[in-house]
Amino acid sequence: MAGSSVSVDLSQAMITAPVALGDWLVVAPSLITILGGALCLMLRKNTDLQPKLGIGFLALLVVANLALLIRVLDQGVITMVMGSWLPPFGIAFTVDSLGVTLSLIGSIVAFCGGVFGAATVDSTGRRYGFYPFLLLLMTGVCGAFLTGDIFNLYVWFEVLLISSYGLLVLGNDRIQLDGAVKYGVLNLIGTNLFLIATGMLYGIFGTLNMADLAMKVAALENPASGTLATVAALYFLAFAMKAAAFPVNFWLPASYHTPNVVVSAVFAGLLTKVGVYALIRIFVLILPASRGYMADVIALVAIATLLTGAIGALAQSEVRRLLGYVVIAGIGSMLAGVAVGSTLAVSGAIFYAVHSIIVMTALYFAAGIMNMMGGSYDLRQLGGLYQKSAAFAAVFLVLGFAVSGLPPFSGFWPKVILVDAAFADGRAWLGAAILFSGFLTTLAMGRVWIFAFWRGGPEGTADGETVAVTGETGTQLSGAAVWLPLGILTALVVYFGLQPEWMLELSTQGASGIVEPLGYLRSVFGGQG
């Protein structure tokens, strides 16, 4: 499928033309965050300045990503090669609508995280580097979304993982170290598999440039050869681990409830989605034939992930652990898109990734606010939050509807697309699993809402009665720093639900850009096709 009929003139790639100033936007997201992270690291003793610097650089990152998106929509796929060393020898950053869309949404979420962190991360956390870690995490995330080279992708994964280890242990609680060990070991294994597969790929093709690989794989006479199948299986396992797919999902609920809630929020929004992105990029763009014969396996994993996530969410009473399982259920939906693999399905997966980044971060923020109001993360202790703030109860209901895939919010459209694509592909079971998982998620979110908001007080409160809730309201809750990020993200959830055309078009463009990667290949190697 990928690029089989493309003839690209390699000699054209040897011309060094001047680089337009606008093309520098390709490296701007990584560069802004790396400079900002370094600056925050130097000034980390100044805890008052940290949030201002950090939020400033994150705002700059959003602007840069927005400019990059506009340029990509205007000019098509953009490539910049580092140090003018031309691909396939040099490292190329190749930005298409898929990468830049996720990068933009990711940076908005990180900005909200930075603002929320200004209220919830104390001065000790700031001194130990919350903002430098957050900025360097974004260096890795944006780099992974924008790079056009598999080894470089590996490097960005390392950058974001190292920063995430730092964020995870910020605060030094015993439980955090426990969570960090589980998270660290599993991710280390995943990263090693990724590296081994990359080494094998280089051994076969002698290149790691994604566009070059896509062409060479398409030109193979026997794309189902044993070695390539091994590489595909290793990549699938590695990225499934990063994405927390069944059966390698257990690290996520074991670690995401341990750190500061803003860290959980950013992780839940971004990290698993980078794994899904890498899966889409490698299986749809580079190894379409392998994806073809692995489709049944991927579909099974997707169904298992959808059900594990939703059932796990029903079984939990700790809000953050519950949300961790909801993240996993979402991963199942995105994997379903990869399993089907048509342009429609991949566009559904991309839209779902965008939706999931926004809504999961917002839900973790909401969990943090619930803790501030009710003094606990446990559904048995929480209660009566509706009396405290009816508006917050409404916001939580909106987010709960969105994450379950109910209209008219952002989760509805990608689920419609995914179910539609699954049925069109003759995988009725996959479509049914998505719907059933959505139903169970509705129950789980409804349970949270009924217990934490509707019930008059903690467990045991009789119907119709209200008990005064003892939470540490006041000091922390008063600031806009808590409500603004939640407001921005909820507004996006409602906007993408009511006005989905823009994001539908963007994700369709992103999907067709990797299913039929002519523009991608030409951007790297030039040529008229």
- Hey, what are 320's tokens? 């953050």
Q: How many CB atoms lie within 10 A of CB 443?
A: 12
Q: CB of 514: closest distance to other proteins in angstroms? A: 24
Using CB under 8 A, which of the segments 42-50, 217-225, 409-417, 460-468 binds other proteins? 42-50
Part in contact with other proteins (CB under 8 A); list of ranges 7-15, 19-27, 377-385, 449-457: 19-27
Give 22: exposed, middle or buried? Use CB within 10 Å, 0-12, 13-18, 19+.
Answer: middle
Q: Which stretch binds other proteins (CB under 8 A): 75-83, 371-379, 443-451, 502-510?
A: 75-83
* Residue 177 binding other proteins, by CB under 8 A: no
Which residues are CB-neighbours of 128 under 8 A, at least 6 positions away?
A: 44, 170
Residues in the interface with other proteins (CB under 8 A) total 27
d(CA 210, CA 520): 9
Contact flag: residue 148 with other proteins (CB under 8 A): no
Nearer to other proteins, 136 or 373 (CB): 136
- Whole-angstrom distance between the N-terminal and C-terminal Cα of the chain? 15
Smallest gap from residue 156 Cβ to other proteins (A): 15
Q: Is the peptide bond before 408 cis (omega within 30 degrees of 0)?
A: yes
CB-based burial label for 197 (10 Å; 0-12, 13-18, 19+): buried
Q: Which of 41, 59, 66, 233 binds other proteins (CB under 8 A)?
A: 41
Among 4, 19, 297, 454, binds other proteins (CB under 8 A): 19
Region from 31-39, 412-420, 437-445, 447-455 binding other proteins, contact rule CB under 8 A: 31-39
84 touches other proteins by CB under 8 A: yes
Number of H helices, E strands in the chain: 21, 2
By beta-carbon proximity to other proteins, the closer residue of 86 and 109 is: 86
Looking at the Cβ atoms of 128 and 423, the one nearer to other proteins is: 128
Q: Which is nearer to other proteins, 81 or 366 (CB)?
A: 81
Q: Which residue from 2, 44, 176, 525 is in contact with other proteins, where contact means CB under 8 A?
A: 44
The helix/strand/coil state of 78 is strand
Q: How many Å apart are CA 452 and CA 20, to the nearest integer?
A: 54
In this complex, which beta carbon is closest to other proteins, that of residue 93 or of residue 325? 93
* 89 near other proteins (CB under 8 A): no
- In the complex, what is the shortest distance from the CB of residue 209 to other proteins, in angstroms, rounded to a whole number? 15
Could you tell me which residues come within 8 angstroms of residue 160 by beta carbon, excluding any fewer than 6 positions away? 137, 139, 140, 141, 144, 271, 274
Q: Which of 2, 39, 60, 146 binds other proteins (CB under 8 A)?
A: 39
Establish if 132 lies at the interface with other proteins (CB under 8 A): yes
14 is a contact residue toward other proteins (CB under 8 A): no
Binding to other proteins, residues 355-384 (CB under 8 A): none
By CB under 8 A, is residue 59 in contact with other proteins? no
What tokens appear for 19 in the block? 């680089």
Sequence-distant (≥ 6) Cβ neighbours of residue 16 within 8 angstroms? 84, 86
DSSP label at 47? T
Q: Which of 5, 18, 475, 528 binds other proteins (CB under 8 A)?
A: 18
As a residue count, the chain comes to 529
What distance in Å separates the CA atoms of residue 411 and residue 25, rounded to the nearest whole number? 30
Determine, following the binding rule CB under 8 A, whether residue 38 of this chain makes contact with other proteins: yes
Name the token pair of 14: 């040897």
Longest dimension (CA), the chain: 78
Residue 82 found at the interface with other proteins (CB under 8 A): yes
Binding residues for other proteins, rule: CB under 8 A, are 16, 18-21, 23-24, 26-27, 31, 34-35, 37-42, 44-45, 80-84, 129, 132
